[in-house]
Amino acid sequence: MRALAVHPDVIVVVSGVWQTTATAVRSGDEAFLIDSPPLPEELDALPSLLEQAGFALRGLLVTHGDWDHLLARLAFPEASLGVGESTATRLRAKPGEAHRRLREFDAQWYIEGRRALSLADPQALPLPGRVSIGSDTVAELELHPTAGHTADGMAVWVPWAQVLVCGDYLSPVELPMISPESGGSAEAYRETLRRLEPLVQAAATVVPGHGMPMPGARAREILAQDSAYLDQLLSGQQVTLPPGRRSATQRQIHARNLSSRVRRPRSASPPRAGF
């Protein structure tokens, strides 16, 4: 796991698996942690990392309901958990799904000894909306709805740091991944990119759900590439995969995206292990 300070009030940790990110945001004497790394040793390291950096945790936020973004409660079992309204609906509809997916991942990678994942009593946050942070120096995080990868989700804009935490969008290492079994669609994904574009234009740093934090200029390149990819996918044109995302794994993701566009299956298994 790598820890990067992208702003005095923003620390991003990047997992050794899938480059999954978690982002700590501070204002004054309070901090939120957005999303989570998946490995036990990475989760175990988070409390001391944040304490040493002077980030006093107030609560947890989650960009969407995929299991690998929901694990921060294992590191902070007493922390409050805030999710977008769409994610709260998803978690209520399938209350044991995240725990089951976690157990499948652990079995695949021979990980033993994790305690049960508890997602009880998440706070459903309206989207779009705002969350106050800090008691001495009060600031607000902006919450923006995202859909397309799945049916649920939110991006978090940190205005004083010009940082956008966007969940599973704008990844420099992964194609747009459409998950129809979780309500995702290429049309909704394309609309989310349009909605995020003004924030990307204003961002100094963009933190994707998978991949290293990027300067705003690089994120704008990714947004243009992903928009062109989705336009080609939706129109039935010959699709050109973006540079740097043409590996065998990315071609599998593209094949599944194409399948979901043509057949809209009720269920499918995305190529990322454990999903």
pLDDT, tens digit (0-9, with 9 covering 90-100), for 166-225: 999 999 999 999 999 999 999 999 999 999 999 999 999 999 999 999 999 999 999 999
**pLDDT at residue 131, as a whole number:** 96
Q: Which two tokens stand for residue 120?
A: 């009880």
Is the model's pTM score more than 0.95? no
C-alpha–C-alpha distance, residues 257 and 238, integer Å = 14
Residue 1 predicted with pLDDT over 70? yes
Ranges 54-58, 241-245, 258-262, 263-267: which has the least confidence = 263-267
For the cut 60, the answer to whether the pLDDT of residue 12 exceeds it is yes
Nearest CA to 66 out of 174, 158, 140 is that of: 174
Rg over CA atoms, the chain: 18
Sequence-distant (≥ 6) Cβ neighbours of residue 31 within 8 angstroms: 24, 25, 50, 55, 56, 57, 58, 133
To the nearest whole number, what is the mean pLDDT of the chain?
Answer: 92
Interval 18-39: pLDDT, tens: 999 999 999 998 999 999 999 9
Instruction: Calculate what percentage of the chain has a pLDDT beyond 70.
Output: 94
Cα 44 to Cα 77: distance, rounded to the nearest angstrom: 12
Domains and CATH numbers, the chain: 2-263 (3.60.15.10)
